[in-house]
Amino acid sequence: GQQLNQSPQSMFIQEGEDVSMNCTSSSIFNTWLWYKQDPGEGPVLLIALYKAGELTSNGRLTAQFGITRKDSFLNISASIPSDVGIYFCAGQKGGSEKLVFGKGTKLTVNP
């Protein structure tokens, strides 16, 4: 099935650094979502974006819905060890209940 192009695949950073990851698609999505998954658990919703150009924050996390509706990015500022995990972007097309997921970005934060 279709998947989103998510990059980078993995990141190794020092505690306190900022992080940026993004997702792109060849087609338009009406909704972009960002999830975090810890090992052995289900994804947890971080941020939901519903409008092109929308910029939304959740604590140290900021995500934007691209103007073209074909991309989205997630920024994490001042990373901490508990930010470690896999971050997934997900897109939803208009009129569809289904989500399409990116392949994930594995984040490692060194104390």
Partner 1 sequence: GAVVSQHPSRVICKSGTSVKIECRSLDFQATTMFWYRQFPKQSLMLMATSNEGSKATYEQGVEKDKFLINHASLTLSTLTVTSAHPEDSSFYICSARDETGGRSYNSPLHFGNGTRLTVT
Under 8 Å between Cβ of 72 and 34: yes
Q: Is 9 exposed, middle or buried (0-12, 13-18, 19+ CB in 10 A)?
A: exposed
Residue 92 tokens read as 């939803």
Q: Which one, 18 or 50, has the nearer CB to partner 1? A: 50
Q: Does 91 bind partner 1 (CB under 8 A)?
A: no
Instruction: Give the residue, chosen from 17, 57, 98, 108, that forms a contact with partner 1 under the rule CB under 8 A.
Output: 98
Q: Is 111 in the site for partner 1 (CB under 8 A)?
A: no
Cβ atoms 90, 2 nearer than 8 A: no
Using CA atoms, how far apart are residues 46 and 56, in angstroms rounded to an integer? 10
Which of the ranges 19-27, 29-37, 58-66, 72-80 carries the binding residues for partner 1, by CB under 8 A? 29-37
For the bound state, the minimum distance from the C-beta of residue 99 to partner 1, rounded and expressed in Å, comes to 6
Please choose, out of 17-25, 35-43, 60-68, 69-77, the segment that lies near partner 1 by the rule CB under 8 A: 35-43
Chain length of the chain: 111
Tokens of 93: 């097309």
Q: Write out the residues near partner 1 by the rule CB under 8 A.
A: 1, 3, 31, 33, 35, 40-45, 48, 50, 88, 90, 92, 95-99, 101-104
